[in-house]
Amino acid sequence: MPRFALKIEYDGAPFAGWQRQKSLPSVQQAVETALGRLQQPAPTIAAAGRTDSGVHALAQVAHADLTRDWEPFRLSEALNYHLKPYPIAILGVAVVPDDWHARFSARERRYLFRLLNRRAPAALAAGKVWQVAHPLDVARMQVGAEFLLGRHDFTTFRASECQADSPVRTLDQLDIQTIDTPLGPEIHFHVRARSFLHNQVRSFVGTLERVGAGAWEPEDVRTALEARDRAACGPVCPPQGLYLAGVGYPEDPFG
C-alpha cells in the first residue's frame, strides 16, 4: 500500500488535542473519519507530535497508508471536502517511502507562541493568542531565555504527567521578538528542538512572562532550571497562543 505524508493546518479550539479519544473530539479522529470516506476500513494515521487541547497547528505532519494510489493533489482535495466543516485543512500531500514515519523520521519540531500585549479585549484574536495587559520587557525575557538553550535536564519545565522516559532535551532555539500587528503589539516566541516534553514550551513562556513583567530576574530562570523541580517553574501559560509551526526532516517530503 502506498504511504502518504499529510501537511495539516488546524484550529485547536474545538478539539481535545490531536490524539484520538473515546468520548472527546480530536483532530486525529476528524482526519481519520475523512479518510474513512475514501476507503474502508479507515486507516490509522500517525503524527509528528501530539498537540494538547486548544493548541493549533500551522504545519502538523502525519502519514497514512492507503489502498489506492492517489494523485497527491486529488487526495488533498478529497480530504478537504470531507473535513468540512471542521477547522482543519490539508495543505499538502506527498508520496513517501514505506519506511518513512511522520514522528520517527522527524529531525526537529518548531513551535510559535503568540502573546498579544494590550489592555483592550482581544475581540478578533480571541482563542488564537495569550493576552497579557501589563507591559513586558522583551530584552529581559531574551536574556532569561538564553539560560535554557542547549542540552539540559528540563524537569522543572515539564508537566508532572509527562510520559517521556527522560527529562533531558536539547533546545536549539528560543528567540523572542515584538511584532507590530493591526491588532496591536504581539510578542512571538520561536522555539525549536528535536523533541519536546509535555507542556515544555508553555512552561517556558509562562516563566519568561514573569521575567518580562519584572517579577523575576533573568538569572532566576537559570536557578529554576538547575533546581530540576517542577515547583520551581513559573506559571504555565494557557494553550491558545501555541502553534506547531513546522516539522523538519532530512528531506522535505513536500518539496
Q: How many residues does the chain have?
A: 255
- Integer Cα distance of 243 and 27 in angstroms: 14
pLDDT of residue 1: 86
> What pLDDT, in 10s, does the model give residues 198-224?
999 999 999 999 999 999 999 999 999
Decide if 69 is catalytic. Answer: no
Measured from the Cβ of residue 16, the count of other Cβ atoms closer than 10 Å reads: 17
The three cell numbers locating residue 135:
507591559
Of 89, 66, 70, 86, give the one whose Cα is nearest residue 7.
89
18-44 burial string, b = 16+ CB within 10 Å, else e? bbbeeeeebbbbbbbebbeebeeebbe
Domains and CATH numbers, the chain: 3-105 (3.30.70.580), 108-246 (3.30.70.660)
The three cell numbers locating residue 146:
538564553
The three cell numbers locating residue 67:
489502498
pLDDT of residue 221: 98
Q: Which parts of the chain register pLDDT below 70? A: none
Q: How many CA atoms lie within 13 A of 91 on its CB side?
A: 16
pLDDT of residue 216: 98
Under 8 Å between Cβ of 173 and 191: yes
pLDDT of residue 170: 98
- Integer Cα distance of 207 and 176 in angstroms: 13
Q: Where are the beta strands (DSSP E) in the chain?
A: 3-10, 46-47, 56-65, 88-96, 108-116, 130-131, 150-153, 168-181, 184-193, 242-248
Q: How far apart are the first and last CA of the chain?
A: 22
pLDDT of residue 22: 87
Average pLDDT, the chain: 97
Residue 214 φ/ψ region, left for φ over 0, alpha for ψ in the -120 to 50 degree band, beta for the rest: left
> What pLDDT, in 10s, does the model give residues 131-141?
999 999 999 99
